[in-house]
Structure 1
Amino acid sequence: MTHPIQFINGQWLEGQGSAFNSVNPANNTEIWQGNAASEQQVEQAIKAARNAFTPWSSQSVESRIALTEKFAQLLTDNKETLATTIAQETGKPLWETRTEVGAMVGKIAISVKAYHERTGTVENPMPGAKAFIRHKPHGVVAVFGPYNFPGHLPNGHIVPALIAGNTIVFKPSELTPLTAEVTLKLWQEAGLPEGVLNMVQGEVSTGKALANHPQIDGLFFTGSSTTGKLLHEQFGGLPGKILALEMGGNNPLIIKDVKNTDAVVHDILQSAFISAGQRCTCARRLFIQSGEQGDTILAKLIESTKAISVGYYDDEQQPFIGSMISEKAALGLVSAQDKLIKLGAKSLVELTHKKAGTGFVTPGILDVTGIDIPDEEHFGPLLKVYRYTDFDAAIDEGNNTAFGLSAGLLADNEADYQHFFSRIRAGIVNWNKPITGASSAAPFGGIGDSGNHRASAYYAADYCAYPVASVEANAVSLPENLSPGLTIK
């Protein structure tokens, strides 16, 4: 039975489109069902956002911030409920989804600080006047959310957009609609005015109706590079619309002359396999030196990978990773592994689909040294190993990708890191830390097929408002010296 899942102008409405559902990928049980938004309902949502824009943007930034702080408190009060919802829909273990809700809470204070530091008001004196830099919201923006962090990543667009004074139409992933519904009900409870934040649930047709609508002033997207590039093409020739793309990566991690083998293996596992490899920053390509030290690291990595605990989100003894988002995603990884092996890759740890009807897989490792493989992001726990003898050649191969999201070096010598940093092409570059780790007080984004130079996280404030330069005086005044050839009669 369907239920009201569309949130338009402060009202929960049943969708008028086709039915779709959400399935717990760990046990293949349906946990949510509803009907998609129709084109007419997308139109209604955009109209509601447009009507709400002037009163919302006219409020003081302090009042807008106060509402986001109420939302943060409600997130804190409902942390376990939301964490459980995310775990059921994504298959991720509870220890990880609890950290996701914690990140959502932390995003409020970070966004407030970023707003004031990056898009606040700046006043500069000048002769006979004052020069100001202020910022204005774009208007009605669409936010497209992903499935891998269905709470945190949309939140990273929505919070700064609201603080800046925009109104929003949110299209969550069709794979995680329940998480979005629970989150929107908390925003409603926080007292957000009608029409300020709307949500249209649905599949591809709903997304197309929203992205194609002429009345949106911008679109903030987190998801695959394939979809992101289609949006980029669609927005070509529309310079009046802001487009922020946060996409995937084929991320390199290089190991060089490091003594602490256990720490190295730990950081590789954290970089490659956390969240069942479903983070855009996960290491996809691992470069290990040829020779005895590299052999030792690789042998320990293989055994440690085989020992990774894979299990249900609510197991009393929490697993390191849970299910992938769907059986389709799991089978896609098995297929990708098979294709690479046919190209000449050697299986060091086989990625296996654990149970039919579920998204459970065991992590896999392939040696792809010396073979030509496609530049693809395999979004799951499948790591490709390259053995190398020349550091510069390893860096060059690390850069041999259309992507440019994250990269890392595990090495004892700081000079090696400085050399690596100067040559690697990525928006996130770490030294002796997992490449899935990022500071909340820093920008988050990449170059190439990983984004369009609209870094999110701390820099999200930049694309949520546009700068306005003003020269202002309290009264008009006649200058003491007129320009040559000018006479006032």
Structure 2
Amino acid sequence: MLSFKHPGRHCIAGSWHPGTGEILSRNPANLDEIIGAFPVGTQAESIEAVAAARHAFPNWRRTSRLHRAECFNRLANIIERDQEYLAELMAREVGKTLSECRAEVVEGLHMVQYVFGTGRMPTGYVIDSEISEKDAFLRRKPWGVVAVITPWNFPFAVPLWMLGPSLLEGNTAVFKPSEDSPAIGQRLFELFLEAGFPPGTINLLHGDGTTGEALVDNPEVSVVLFTGSYEVGKRIQQVSANHFDRIVAAEMGSKSAVIICDDARIDLAVSAGLISAFKTSGQRCVSAGRLLVQEKIFDKFAEKLLTVTKRIRIGNPLDERNFTGPVIHENSVEKVLKYNRLSKEEGAEVLLVGERMLDHEHKRGCYLTPHVYRIAHSPQIRCIREEVFGPHLALIPFKTLDDAIEIYNDTDFGLSMAVITEDFRKMRLFREECNFGMGYVNLPCIGAEVHLPFGGVKKSGNGHPSAAGLVDAVTHKIAWTVNHGTEIKMAQGLKTDV
């Protein structure tokens, strides 16, 4: 049985606090198993955590950037040491298969290694001036206190996407993990302490939406980094609008799709579609709720996809034979089943009925079978426009490439897409005409590499991508111009005569 170095507690300015209230973290594969109990942060505790980060900011900002980077080198070594423990804890708390959790730990490790490496990279550059006696520079500076609010489905990698660039650049942080994954969030925080990050540089605050709102509403927070639903992200942006110098970087879900052209390699297309739709039980922000399939190959593709989908093994995340595990909790079960029913009401031809698994092996968990249906595109259909966040998949036929572009763009989201084709001209057309933040060719529409930006457009994001792309959100650029002459000469020919 896994155990924690500390019981569920907040950590503010390096001191552990038991807090009040109780959030029970349960194993979604077996709801009888309680992973741990965690406090609910109050407004007073939120104020205290932000104050601790604000107090630590001047010294951390003045610390050599190379010394800050060295903290991440130590953190990387600790993560490598604890990889299997972290993966197993994650699998038990959020229900992802052990292989997925191992991959996520490696992804988090890669982010830490990337941050360590960029510690010796330039933080600005030299720009020529109009005046030969002048040197002009652009330099990045940290904002201050960063609030990091993260999701349950990537409870290890996503916090590192956010905390890594923030802390390296000289900001301090208050980290609030999801109430659905507090155990892995706390364990990650413990690793930061072990790596030698100074007290107050990073602070841990458990809690729910009320805790998060108190954190966001604090005027001493300079930047809010958030990954989660559009509804919560919109609320964060609304609250932050009251603070004149607040930066918000928000990644807020999707209705991603894979576009399968009639020249596609069918087996590759089936693999890409299945992985995009059902990995993590469809609970990735980039999961494909839609497969757009050209009419000429629709029947052949659908037949092969259904054959493979029926073979998917669903079960205990710790059993490495399983392709996927449960959804996160009972509310998620009900939401997915509601959308399954809605697809029928909206006229879908159901090809595979998604339902709750209630046999002996699965009855104590939140297990669902895939729901697959064929439906013609129409702007009025909700089930192909709204994010379901579960094993719910629409197969949508299209005639022309322009039709596919129109269908793909006809949602309020724009996070991820993939196109399956052997024609480089089609690849370019979709790249230019579809609205997305991350695109793939002959690949699933899920997956990320930390040296690339991760974010989207429309309701999927607000122009501040995460991972490597986050640096521009957690720093601001300053201009610095130095005159080496013995008199003043101005640009644009401005006269200086008195």
Report the equivalent of 2:49: 45
CA distance in 2, matches of 1:151, 1:80: 13
Change (3 A) 1:436 1:485: closer
Q: CA deviation at 1:208?
A: 1.3
CA contact (8 A) 1:142 1:218 kept: yes
Q: Look up the SS of the partner of 1:459 in the other structure.
A: helix
Decide which of 465, 486, 489 is 1:477's aligned counterpart. Answer: 486
Q: Give me the TM-score of the superposition, normalised by structure 2.
A: 0.93
> Deviations 1:384-435 (Å, cap 9, x if unpaired)?
1111222211210110011000111111211111222221111111111111
Report the equivalent of 2:143: 138
Decide which of 386, 401, 420 is 1:391's aligned counterpart. Answer: 401
Q: Give me the TM-score of the superposition, normalised by structure 1.
A: 0.94
Gaps of 5+ in 1: none
Change (3 A) 1:464 1:112: farther
Q: CA deviation at 1:3?
A: 4.0
Decide which of 349, 373, 376 is 2:381's aligned counterpart. Answer: 373
Decide which of 42, 60, 73 is 1:56's aligned counterpart. Answer: 60
> Deviations 1:160-196 (Å, cap 9, x if unpaired)?
1000000000111000000011111111111110100
CA contact (8 A) 2:161 2:468 kept: no
CA contact (8 A) 1:93 1:318 kept: no
CA distance in 1, matches of 2:489, 2:299: 80
CA distance in 2, matches of 1:181, 1:206: 16
Report the equivalent of 1:351: 354
Report the equivalent of 2:497: 486
- Alignment map for 1:229-268 (pairs within 5 Å): 229-268=234-273
CA distance in 2, matches of 1:462, 1:115: 15
Q: Look up the SS of the partner of 2:431 in the other structure.
A: helix
- Alignment map for 1:214-233 (pairs within 5 Å): 214-233=219-238
- Alignment map for 1:299-338 (pairs within 5 Å): 299-315=303-319, 317-338=320-341
> Deviations 1:430-472 (Å, cap 9, x if unpaired)?
1111110333322111000000000112211111111111002
CA distance in 2, matches of 1:88, 1:157: 24
CA distance in 2, matches of 1:86, 1:108: 18
Is 136-145 or 30-39 further displaced after alignment?
Answer: 30-39
CA contact (8 A) 1:288 1:385 kept: yes
CA distance in 1, matches of 2:119, 2:370: 40
CA distance in 1, matches of 2:488, 2:325: 72
| Aligned partner letter, 1:286 | L
Change (3 A) 1:349 1:65: same
Q: CA deviation at 1:485?
A: 7.3
CA distance in 2, matches of 1:259, 1:405: 23
Decide which of 447, 458, 482 is 2:468's aligned counterpart. Answer: 458
CA distance in 2, matches of 1:259, 1:484: 66
Is 216-225 or 456-465 further displaced after alignment?
Answer: 456-465
1:203 and 2:208 correspond: yes
Q: CA deviation at 1:115?
A: 6.3
Is 341-350 or 78-87 further displaced after alignment?
Answer: 341-350
Q: CA deviation at 1:328?
A: 1.9
> Deviations 1:61-119 (Å, cap 9, x if unpaired)?
000000011111101101111111110111111111011111111002323455666x7
CA distance in 1, matches of 2:228, 2:18: 26
> Deviations 1:357-400 (Å, cap 9, x if unpaired)?
42211111121215531221110111111112222112101100
Q: Which ranges of 4 or more aligned residues in structure 1 deviate by more than 6 Å?
A: 480-483
Gaps of 5+ in 2: 1-5
Change (3 A) 1:52 1:394: same
CA distance in 1, matches of 2:119, 2:356: 45
Report the equivalent of 1:84: 88
Is 317-326 or 303-312 further displaced after alignment?
Answer: 317-326
CA distance in 1, matches of 2:70, 2:264: 50
CA distance in 2, matches of 1:453, 1:378: 23
The alignment-based identity, stated in percent, is: 31
CA distance in 1, matches of 2:496, 2:78: 66
Q: CA deviation at 1:237?
A: 4.9
Q: Look up the SS of the partner of 2:463 in the other structure.
A: coil
Decide which of 88, 101, 106 is 2:110's aligned counterpart. Answer: 106
| Aligned partner letter, 1:353 | R
Report the equivalent of 2:23: 20
| Aligned partner letter, 2:487 | L
- Alignment map for 1:159-174 (pairs within 5 Å): 159-174=164-179
Change (3 A) 1:150 1:485: closer
Q: CA deviation at 1:143?
A: 0.3
